[in-house]
Chain A
């Protein structure tokens, strides 16, 4: 459980970035933190593994204040994947990148070998095992950065803008992968601007604006609420806008992705076609 209690924060010499913020994320939840550039999203998630400590209030990880633990201790349970993989990668090969932390945590060689192998396969990185991370494409480097964190099996996984630079197929894979993590009981928190990705994942969403939480609820509710969407400098998903336009057809509320829209429209179209055929008879 990640608990944020009355947290305020400013970078030294700067204005306040987070104002008296409260948030609770339960184990096994899937949460997307969204909001405008500079809203405080990255600052907030850096509090989860103690990289930043609040000026006021406190952040608790499973009931223990992040002030009472080192970043290394906290990281064992909270894996934070940065927006820019180049801030994280440093090893000479992808395999070394993945095994580095496990060695530091003192795992045995055979365990390390097994875990690295599994992650390379899961994230489609097998063929790059011996390549330098720096010759890979941006999207591939992001997957290496993700693998390098997941390899030590943290309980809470935090990803900052995981879809930037990923094409549609890779996003689809990422979505399936997140679902897999959640089904293993992990907490997954993403920071994202990617409305359509979030609309397809349908997590709990937390909208931040100017350092405050302005909305918190299922994506199907928040992303269709035009006033909070605008306040957080987001836009309503295309499919939700389409449903508003088709309001006289009485679509059920909360349709924000293509698959639910397809289900609704297929039923409507089928009924129309059947009515026409029976008229002709």
Chain B
């Protein structure tokens, strides 16, 4: 059973004539780390909103096709029920944190689910440890740096023990160093907790090294889907996704007529391939 399975999914927002996503077919097996990308307005956010029931429960419109997460058909289920299966992390952590202490914020979702107190205390502690913020538990969220706030938001989500994690551009508001840290925390949690992770991201330089798979959306449809080295082809460049700079460099060298074959994803891979070509 795949973690996420969409079949011919179509959604049109109320008041709009054109569907925002059209005939989307995506099947993601358990445990995959998937980077979900595409130009702005391509339908990424709309697809994510379907996964936790925000569509159609909170955004009205016309939803067609089938979508199952964790084997559950999403249609007709409440966002509360889906929250124990799909954890959601947003762009701006400030929108997800509002309590007087980090600990209270991390516990908030569990209280809503009616988890018994002792178990909740245990889970909150575990989630703060897993995200490396245990020592910040008594601080107010506004005293935290952007990266720490985003860790707290992630802790609040994993405390609910979802099997699927969906993150909508979680690094947009972070400085590059904090962004790198957050992405490595996400990759570690995916591995250690055997999560299925869908990471919406423009900064492919940052995330590609962790990705099992990259899905590129364009104009509401899945345009490309596969391992990063296959997906970052000329078509991807035309769609306008910001592939890693080392990958771009190899595209340019290939266009210049040099026999570069592989698409490197990381600096290490690029350096190795260049050494091979230069016979060193």
Contact = CB atoms under 8 A, between A and B. Distances in A.
Nearest to A165: B40
Interface stretch (B155-163, B221-229, B248-256): B248-256
Interface in B222-280: 240-246, 248-249, 252-253, 256, 258, 267-268, 270-271, 274-275, 277-280
Contact of B205 (A193, A230, A238, A245): A238
Nearest to A136: B41
B40 A166 contact: yes
Contacts of B192: none
Contacts of A242: 246, 249, 267, 270-271
A269 B274 CA distance: 9
A168 B243 CA distance: 9
Q: Is the interface of A mostly helix, strand, loop or mixed?
A: helix
B176 A234 contact: yes
A238 B175 CA distance: 16
Interface string B175-216: 111101000000000000000000000100100000000000
Contact of B241 (A164, A168, A233, A245): A168
Contacts of B40: 137-139, 165-167, 170
A257 B246 CA distance: 10
Contacts of B2: none
Nearest to A199: B245
Contact of B245 (A36, A196, A234): A196
A23 interface: no
Given A245-B271, A261-B249, A268 B278 contact: yes
Interface in A17-61: 35-38
B271 A246 contact: yes
Contacts of A164: 172
Contacts of A125: none
Contacts of B253: 262, 265-266, 269
Nearest to A259: B252
Contacts of A230: 177
A117 interface: no
B178 A239 contact: no
Nearest to B240: A169
Contact of B180 (A37, A137, A235, A266): A235
Interface string A105-123: 0000000000000000000
Most-contacted residue by chain B among A137, A169, A276 (CB, 10 A): A169
A259 B251 CA distance: 11
A278 interface: no
Contact of A167 (B39, B175, B278, B279): B39
B146 interface: yes
Interface residues of B, number: 40
Interface in A80-130: none
B176 A262 contact: no
Contacts of B249: 239, 242, 258, 261-262, 265
Interface in A208-233: 230, 233
Contacts of A235: 176-177, 180
A195 B176 contact: yes
A272 B175 contact: no
Nearest to B16: A135
Nearest to B245: A238
B242 A167 contact: yes
Given A241-B267, A265-B274, A233 B176 contact: yes
Contact of B274 (A137, A246, A273): A246
A238 B244 contact: yes
B68 interface: no
Nearest to A273: B258
Contact of B246 (A166, A238, A268): A238
A170 B175 contact: no
B258 A269 contact: yes
Contact of A269 (B176, B245, B277): B277
Contacts of A262: 249, 252-253, 256
Contacts of B176: 193, 195, 233-235
B62 interface: no
Contacts of B173: 37
B145 interface: yes
A170 B267 CA distance: 25
Interface of A: 35-38, 137-139, 164-171, 193, 195-196, 230, 233-235, 237-239, 241-242, 245-246, 248-249, 257-259, 261-262, 265-266, 268-269, 272-273, 276
In the A-B complex, list the 5 residue pairs whose CB atoms are closest, starting with the nearest.
A169-B240, A168-B242, A167-B39, A233-B177, A245-B271
24 contacts: A37-B175, A139-B41, A164-B172, A167-B38, A167-B240, A170-B40, A193-B174, A196-B242, A233-B176, A234-B177, A235-B177, A242-B249, A245-B268, A248-B280, A249-B278, A249-B280, A257-B245, A259-B252, A262-B249, A262-B253, A265-B274, A266-B256, A266-B258, A276-B279
